[in-house]
A and B are shown apart, each in its own frame.
Chain A
Amino acid sequence: MASPRVIIVGAGPAGVRAAQTLVAHGITPIVIDEAERAGGQIYRRQPANFSRTPEQLYGPDAAKASALHAAFDALVGQIDYRANTLAWALRDNTLHISSAGVASALPFDALILATGATDRLVPIAGWTLPGCYSLGGAQIAMKAQACSIGTRVVFMGTGPLLYLVAWQYVKAGVKVAAVLDTSPFGAQLRALGDLGLRPGLLSRGVRFQMRLRAAGVHLANGVTPLAVEGTGEVTGVRYRTARGAEVTIACDAVGMGYHLRPETQLADLAKVPFAYDDTTRQWLPEADLDGRTPVPGIYVAGDGARILGADAAEIAGQLAARAALADAGITSDAAKTDSLRQRHAVLKQFARGLATAFPWPAHLAATSADSVMVCRCEAITAGDIRDAAGPKDAPELNRAKALSRIGMGRCQGRFCGPAAAEILAAARGVPVREVGRLRSAAPVKPLTMATITEPSA
């Protein structure tokens, strides 16, 4: 039997470990990577002419990052690696890619989607001002380009990344004016049961908060972000404290984010069914424990399937590859698969703890003022969504999209979608799951009109 044609989309922790597993079983996968260098976002590599050490770049995760990079480097020559390449559509077991302005089509027998995640946002007044960045973006500026987003930075939102990035900025010598967490402190205590499964990570989180305090950074829990202030650019952040006082902090940059959301567009185009997850209030592609979806030949792994973090993604990549191997009639070590599944289950429970400790503040999104620009791309406001919900009677997100253009801009709902769903659901007086989710459309990221199609062979 001919070797199955396997494509992996993504070269982060899940994609690299999937590739490594396939190669170990005699398969030569094609690996599609939007980036110039493999590593993904959390272990993103700096450009080749930079010289900082892994310790400087990844701190306590330096060993893990280096191991992943080494694993990928060892695969060179054994995989068909396509850097700077976008997978933009998917139909009938053919993946459509584009690189350097040239589009081509790749048929496959199995496709492992290791597409990663982006920041999840709650829009507030002023969040489009120059100087306001996503939390992940604030970290990438430092990691990939050795830059800070400003000289006096406020980090706002919730999630473990909030404290990690703030600490990385302090360590790099940047003034951090405040870390404002929307989650009440009590939520962290309620999550201790699940978080205790990984005591090392739990204590690391506590340590970051202690170090930030020791460095004189103002930390606040249970805040309500009110606005990013400024005319023409960021000059401050206004928020309400847990006790109800309104405070303005001066700053020239803001990093904001509320955990992550998975990149699920290609799974959607592959017609994988989605299920609503109550813990994270997100729609996720349906898959078994190994990432095998109900659509034959389609597998999902890592944060692109469910936000479980980099460690879980490394395991999920291996499991998805093993599932693809099994479905192709290639056997792999069953005991190893079992132990991977067990470890993955523990990490999943830990992630549930994180979602409890740092909950998505649905109420903040739902109660956004009418004037708040929810869509950065096309300046669609919360009021526009409510107009679609009420007077125009849109019962679900795609109807609201047609009527208001929310989610129709260039980011295709990545940054407005989670909040738009909450606003629509609240306006309709229904649970958020009842307004559904934005359908994905190809191309999943913009292609320029100048993109040309490769002549068929």
Chain B
Amino acid sequence: MADQGRLHRLAETGRAALTITVDGKAVSALAGDTVMVAVLSNGRTLKQAEFGGGNRAGFCLMGACQDCWMWTADGDRLRACTTPVTPGMDLITTIPQENVWPVRA
């Protein structure tokens, strides 16, 4: 069980496949996935919690609890439950040691 994804696809699996990167590893997703589904259909957690330790895997799925913010390799943040996945996304699940509050140059 531990090596499977947390979210399980029940239908709609005939969509176009695409690839994103999560913590440097290639992960396959389907067009129309949210980032949350793309990450959690392959893995068990979304992100490291900023407070209180441990990892999180989202909670409300409707953009309200803000418990699914992930980091991107280029220094942005995104809310995984409301952001559609796009090919080539490069995501990070752990708090970046620098630039926790990214400011666009």
**Partner-B contacts on A (CB < 8 A):** 34-36, 41, 46-52, 56, 118-119, 128-134, 136-138, 140-142, 144-151, 172-174, 232-233, 252-253, 263, 373, 376-379, 409-411, 414-415, 445-446, 448-450
**B76 and A146 contacting across the interface, CB-CB below 8 Å:** no
B-side interface mostly = loop
**B65 and A130 contacting across the interface, CB-CB below 8 Å:** no
* B8 nearest CB neighbor, chain A only: A148
Q: Is B94 an interface residue (CB 8 A)?
A: no
Knowing A137-B62, A140-B61, A411-B64 are in contact, say whether A449-B103 is a contact too (CB < 8 A).
yes
Query: Which residues, 71 to 87 on B, are CB-close (under 8 Å) to A?
Result: 76-77, 81-82, 84
Q: Which of B52, B59, B76 has the most CB of A within 10 A?
A: B59
Which chain A residues border B77 with CB–CB below 8 Å? 448
**17 contacting pairs across A/B (C-beta < 8 A):** A49-B31, A130-B45, A130-B57, A133-B59, A134-B59, A137-B60, A145-B7, A145-B37, A148-B8, A232-B54, A252-B1, A263-B64, A373-B52, A410-B66, A414-B65, A445-B63, A448-B77
* Additional pairs, 19, CB under 8 Å, beyond known A49-B16, A52-B11, A445-B66: A118-B64, A128-B54, A128-B67, A130-B55, A133-B61, A137-B62, A141-B61, A146-B13, A147-B7, A173-B10, A174-B10, A252-B6, A373-B52, A379-B49, A411-B66, A414-B65, A415-B59, A449-B102, A449-B103
B23-37 interface mask toward A, CB cutoff 8 Å, 1 = contact, 0 = none? 000000001111001
Q: How far is the CB of A384 from chain B (nearest CB, A)?
A: 12
**A411 and B65 contacting across the interface, CB-CB below 8 Å:** yes
**Partner-A contacts on B (CB < 8 A):** 1, 6-13, 15-16, 31-34, 37, 41, 44-46, 49, 51-52, 54-67, 69, 76-77, 81-82, 84, 101-104
Q: Which of B37, B44, B55, B66 has the most CB of A within 10 A?
A: B66
Q: How far is the CB of A230 from chain B (nearest CB, A)?
A: 10
Q: How far is the CB of B101 from chain A (nearest CB, A)?
A: 7
Closest 3 CB pairs of A and B: A379-B52, A130-B57, A137-B61
**B64 and A414 contacting across the interface, CB-CB below 8 Å:** yes
Report the separation of the CA atoms of residues A49 and B85 in the bound assembly, to the nearest whole angstrom: 13
**A119 and B60 contacting across the interface, CB-CB below 8 Å:** yes
Report the separation of the CA atoms of residues A268 and B49 in the bound assembly, to the nearest whole angstrom: 30
Report the separation of the CA atoms of residues A160 and B59 in the bound assembly, to the nearest whole angstrom: 20
Which chain A residues border B60 with CB–CB below 8 Å? 118-119, 133-134, 136-137, 415
Q: How far is the CB of B27 from chain A (nearest CB, A)?
A: 15
Knowing A136-B60, A137-B61, A446-B66 are in contact, say whether A150-B6 is a contact too (CB < 8 A).
yes
Which chain B residues border A41 with CB–CB below 8 Å? 62
**A52 and B56 contacting across the interface, CB-CB below 8 Å:** no
Report the separation of the CA atoms of residues A237 and B91 in the bound assembly, to the nearest whole angstrom: 32
Report the separation of the CA atoms of residues A265 and B37 in the bound assembly, to the nearest whole angstrom: 29
**B57 and A147 contacting across the interface, CB-CB below 8 Å:** no
A-side interface mostly = loop
**A149 and B6 contacting across the interface, CB-CB below 8 Å:** yes
Residue in B6, B11, B33, B84 whose CB lies within 8 Å of A36 = B84
Residue in B12, B54, B64, B103 whose CB lies within 8 Å of A129 = B54
Residue in B15, B37, B66 whose CB lies within 8 Å of A147 = B37
Q: How far is the CB of A83 from chain B (nearest CB, A)?
A: 12
Q: How far is the CB of B32 from chain A (nearest CB, A)?
A: 4
**A377 and B67 contacting across the interface, CB-CB below 8 Å:** yes
**B63 and A133 contacting across the interface, CB-CB below 8 Å:** no
**B41 and A147 contacting across the interface, CB-CB below 8 Å:** yes
Knowing A140-B61, A411-B67 are in contact, say whether A151-B102 is a contact too (CB < 8 A).
no
Which chain A residues border B81 with CB–CB below 8 Å? 137
* A84 nearest CB neighbor, chain B only: B82
Which chain A residues border B51 with CB–CB below 8 Å? 377-379, 409
Q: How far is the CB of A81 from chain B (nearest CB, A)?
A: 18
* A44 nearest CB neighbor, chain B only: B62
* B75 nearest CB neighbor, chain A only: A450
Residue in A48, A130, A133, A148 whose CB lies within 8 Å of B10 = A148
Which chain B residues border A128 with CB–CB below 8 Å? 49, 52, 54, 56, 59, 67
**A233 and B44 contacting across the interface, CB-CB below 8 Å:** yes
Report the separation of the CA atoms of residues A134 and B37 in the bound assembly, to the nearest whole angstrom: 16
Residue in A131, A446, A450 whose CB lies within 8 Å of B6 = A131
Which chain B residues border A410 with CB–CB below 8 Å? 66-67, 69
Q: How far is the CB of A447 from chain B (nearest CB, A)?
A: 11
**A130 and B62 contacting across the interface, CB-CB below 8 Å:** no
* B34 nearest CB neighbor, chain A only: A145
Knowing A36-B84, A131-B57 are in contact, say whether A448-B76 is a contact too (CB < 8 A).
yes
Which chain A residues border B46 with CB–CB below 8 Å? 130
Q: How far is the CB of B17 from chain A (nearest CB, A)?
A: 12
* A142 nearest CB neighbor, chain B only: B10
* B77 nearest CB neighbor, chain A only: A448
**B103 and A450 contacting across the interface, CB-CB below 8 Å:** yes
Q: How far is the CB of A42 from chain B (nearest CB, A)?
A: 11
